[in-house]
Every structure is written in structure tokens, then in C-alpha cells.
């Protein structure tokens, strides 16, 4: 049995603006996806997960590399990432193997916490060892990015890089990704219970910018300026400054139309409970908000008192890891 895990992530600053060339800061969190692979003596691939909407799915890969899926929806999002990961690694290895693949997740699906990247990265790591490739973390991140781009059509390398490498990532479109020095920042995640659609939210911001370029352009530039200013607060663990800039970032994301009442309630509950900052993380329209504050338990309890799921987490330096 080969087992690997990979972390989810939050955006501290910069989502949506990064699509338009502005920088963003992401951080790996200590909630993970766990993937295990066991080789079979035939060409069948069985995929199973209690945590993702996958139940006893079998995949037969023929000599042409075509996949026949039995027992599940072929368009199911997690399955598409897994199948593409299998395809990329099999092509690189020059061989096709049968195996049983099991996934366990501590991340809510569609929560904006990089669950698809963590599934992709941990799957690639398992298959790399199964095929004897022994890919390094950066290679896994690069293949993961190709997988996400194939599935999503348009993707950022940030999610798979952060999940593979761990820690804090500085990302700027068209430039290299940079892993920042280790930091300790107390986080609380609030989940609306509703999945957000990255594609829909990105399209909404694009349309808004097209219709009101002179208004929306400066908002996007301001988010970029927050990121450029805020990275110092992240690296020096200045929680008050980090939080104030997160609050401004949240207001600008709301102005772009990617918030909703659930996210606003989570953010307001977090701040009332003592969070120095709280904001949407990810695409918005649902999903999660992230709060920063020393009294994590009080913040978590306040979010739950408003009817939402909450969990305490921290930034982790551990990227993709063998279990």
C-alpha cells in the first residue's frame, strides 16, 4: 500500500485580482487529503471515497488509454481530476497499471480550500511511486497544474504549487511562484455549507470589469496593492496589520460581487468574536471565509453559533508527504 497526503490552502490576499496580473498570497493549511494506492494484477482501476461523492467506481483503461467508467457519473468533478492525473502519470511512465485508489478528505468539497488540487497532488504522488518515477515536489506541482488546466480549461499554478510545497506562496501571473519563509499564523475557517463556482464567479468579475472598466480596474489594482503591502505583515507575523488589510481586501471582494449573506455573517461573527481580520477565501459565491486571531476557539464558536461549520487550523510547512 502506498499512501500520500497533501494540504488544502487559503488565500490571505489577492484572489480574483490575480486573474488580471496582480499578485496573491496563498498558504497551505493543516487540513489534508489522504490518498492510498494498492496495485492489482489486472487492468482495472477502482476508485473509492467516503468523503468525496465517489462510491465504488471502476475504471477500465484500454490499450489506447481510453477510460470506461462504471458505477459513477463520468462528469463528476473529483473523478475528472483523478482520471487526468492517472493519464498524465501513465504517459510519463510509459505503462498502464491496475490499482485500487482510496481518497479520504478533511476538506469540504467546493469550499474554496483547494480540495481539487490536494486530490490531484496526492494522487500524482501515489502513482509516481507506484510507477517507480519518484517525482519531486516541484515536478508533482507542475503535473498537477497541467491536470487542473486540462480539467478547468483555465487554472492558476498556485493551488497545486501550495499543496505540493506547503507553506506560504507568493504568486504573480506570468512570473515564477515563490515559497516564502515559515510563519505561524492562527486561522479559523468558516464554511457556508454551499459550494461556490470558481468559473461562475470569475466570469462575473470579468463581466463587471468589462462593463465598468474605470470603476472596477482601480478596485483590482487596490487588491494588488494590498497584497504587495500585506506580504510584509505575513512574513513578520504582524497579525493586526495582516488582519486590517484582510478586512479591506474583503470589502473590495464584496464590491466585485463575489460575496453573499452567508459569507458576510461568517466574517461579521469572526470580527465580533475578536478576529483581527476576516475575508472571503477563494472564488466566493459560497464556500469559505478565513479569519485570523489569537482566540481561535472563541472565533470558531461564534461562527458555529450562527449556524455554520467552523474549524481551527494553522499554516503548515508540510506539503505533499508520504504517510
Q: How far is Cα 196 from Cα 194, in angstroms, rounded to an integer?
A: 6
CATH assignment of the domain containing 165: 3.30.230.10
Q: Are residues 160 and 219 in the same domain?
A: no
* Residue 62 is assigned to a structural domain of this protein: yes
Q: Are residues 305 and 256 in the same domain?
A: yes
Please say which residue of 154, 180, 206 terminates a domain. 180
Q: Are residues 161 and 259 in the same domain?
A: no
| Number of domain units in the chain | 2
Q: Are residues 308 and 215 in the same domain?
A: yes
* Residue 30 is assigned to a structural domain of this protein: yes
CATH assignment of the domain containing 233: 3.30.70.890
* Residue 320 is assigned to a structural domain of this protein: no
Would you give per-residue pLDDT tens digits along the chain (323 residues)?
A: 999 999 999 999 999 998 898 999 999 999 999 999 999 998 888 888 877 665 555 566 554 556 666 555 544 667 888 989 999 999 999 988 989 999 999 998 778 899 989 999 999 999 999 999 989 999 999 999 999 888 877 677 889 999 999 999 999 877 778 999 999 999 999 999 998 888 788 889 999 999 999 999 999 999 999 999 999 999 999 999 999 999 999 999 999 999 999 999 999 999 999 999 999 999 899 999 999 999 999 999 999 999 999 999 999 999 999 99
Q: Are residues 191 and 176 in the same domain?
A: no
pTM of the model: 0.89
CA 295 to chain CA centroid, Å, is: 25
Q: Are residues 116 and 191 in the same domain?
A: no
Residue 66: what pLDDT?
61
Among candidate residues 124, 142, 96, 122, the one with its CA nearest the CA of residue 323: 122
Among candidate residues 41, 199, 27, the one with its CA nearest the CA of residue 113: 27
Query: What does 182-231 look like in DSSP terms, one character per residue?
Result: P---EEEEEE-SS---HHHHHHHHHHHHHHSHHHHHHHHHHHHHHHHHHH
Which domain, by its residues, includes 41? 2-180
Q: Are residues 81 and 192 in the same domain?
A: no
310, 304 Cβ separation under 8 angstroms: yes
Q: Is the dihedral of CA 132, 98, 122, 139 positive or negative?
A: positive
Q: Are residues 136 and 275 in the same domain?
A: no
Q: Are residues 118 and 65 in the same domain?
A: yes
* Residue 8 is assigned to a structural domain of this protein: yes
Q: Are residues 156 and 239 in the same domain?
A: no
59, 45 Cβ separation under 8 angstroms: yes
Cα angle for residues 43, 44, 45 (degrees, 5° grid): 120
Query: What does 225-252 look like in DSSP terms, one character per residue?
Result: HHHHHHHHHHHTT-HHHHHHHHHHHHHH
Query: What does 264-316 look like in DSSP terms, one character per residue?
Result: HHHHHHHHHTT-SEEEEESS-SSSEEEEE-S-HHHHHHHHHHTT-EEEEEEB-
55, 72 Cβ separation under 8 angstroms: yes
Please say which residue of 180, 204, 236 terminates a domain. 180
Strands (E), 19-177: 23-39, 44-49, 54-61, 67-70, 99-105, 168-172
Q: Are residues 49 and 142 in the same domain?
A: yes
Residue 178: which H helix or E strand, with range?
A: strand 178-179
* Residue 322 is assigned to a structural domain of this protein: no
Q: How far is Cα 42 from Cα 69, in angstroms, rounded to an integer?
A: 16
Residue 196: what pLDDT?
81
* Residue 321 is assigned to a structural domain of this protein: no
Q: Are residues 147 and 50 in the same domain?
A: yes
Kindly report the backbone phi and psi dihedral angles of residue 245, in degrees, each rounded to the nearest multiple of 5, phi listed first. Answer: -70, -35
209, 156 Cβ separation under 8 angstroms: no
Please say which residue of 151, 180, 209 terminates a domain. 180
| Matching residue, cell 475504471 | 59
The catalytic residues are 159
Residue 74: what pLDDT?
46
Residue 252: what pLDDT?
98
Amino acid at each position: 500500500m502506498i499512501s500520500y497526503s497533501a494540504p488544502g490552502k487559503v488565500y490571505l490576499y489577492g484572489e480574483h485580482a490575480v486573474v488580471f496580473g496582480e499578485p496573491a498570497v496563498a498558504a497551505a493549511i493543516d487540513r489534508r487529503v489522504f490518498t492510498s494506492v494498492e496495485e492489482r494484477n489486472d487492468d482495472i482501476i477502482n476508485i473509492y471515497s467516503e468523503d468525496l461523492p465517489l462510491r465504488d467506481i471502476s475504471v477500465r483503461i484500454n490499450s489506447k488509454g481510453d477510460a470506461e467508467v462504471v458505477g459513477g457519473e463520468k462528469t463528476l468533478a473529483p473523478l475528472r481530476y483523478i482520471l487526468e492525473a492517472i493519464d498524465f502519470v501513465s504517459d510519463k511512465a510509459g505503462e498502464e497499471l491496475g490499482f485500487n485508489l482510496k481518497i479520504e478528505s478533511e476538506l469540504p468539497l467546493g469550499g474554496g480550500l483547494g480540495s481539487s488540487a490536494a486530490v490531484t497532488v496526492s494522487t500524482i504522488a501515489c502513482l509516481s511511486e507506484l510507477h517507480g518515477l519518484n517525482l519531486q515536489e516541484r515536478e508533482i506541482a507542475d503535473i498537477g497544474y497541467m491536470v487542473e488546466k486540462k480539467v478547468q480549461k483555465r487554472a492558476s499554478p498556485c493551488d497545486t504549487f501550495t499543496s505540493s510545497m506547503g507553506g506560504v506562496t507568493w504568486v504573480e501571473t506570468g512570473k515564477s511562484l515563490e515559497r516564502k519563509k515559515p510563519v505561524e499564523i492562527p486561522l479559523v475557517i468558516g464554511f457556508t455549507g454551499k459550494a461556490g463556482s470558481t468559473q461562475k464567479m470569475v466570469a462575473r468579475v470579468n463581466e463587471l470589469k468589462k462593463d465598468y472598466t474605470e470603476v472596477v480596474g482601480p478596485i483590482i489594482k487596490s487588491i494588488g496593492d494590498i497584497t504587495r503591502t500585506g506580504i510584509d505583515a505575513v512574513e513578520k507575523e504582524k497579525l493586526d496589520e495582516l488582519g486590517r488589510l484582510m478586512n479591506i481586501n474583503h470589502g473590495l471582494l464584496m464590491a466585485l460581487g463575489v460575496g453573499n449573506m452567508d459569507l458576510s455573517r461568517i466574517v461579521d461573527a469572526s470580527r465580533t468574536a475578536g478576529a483581527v481580520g476576516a475575508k472571503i477565501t477563494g472564488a466566493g459565491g459560497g464556500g469559505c471565509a478565513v479569519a485570523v486571531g489569537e482566540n481561535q476557539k472563541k472565533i470558531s464558536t461564534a461562527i458555529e453559533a450562527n449556524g455554520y461549520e467552523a474549524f481551527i487550523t494553522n499554516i503548515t510547512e508540510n506539503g505533499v508527504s508520504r504517510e
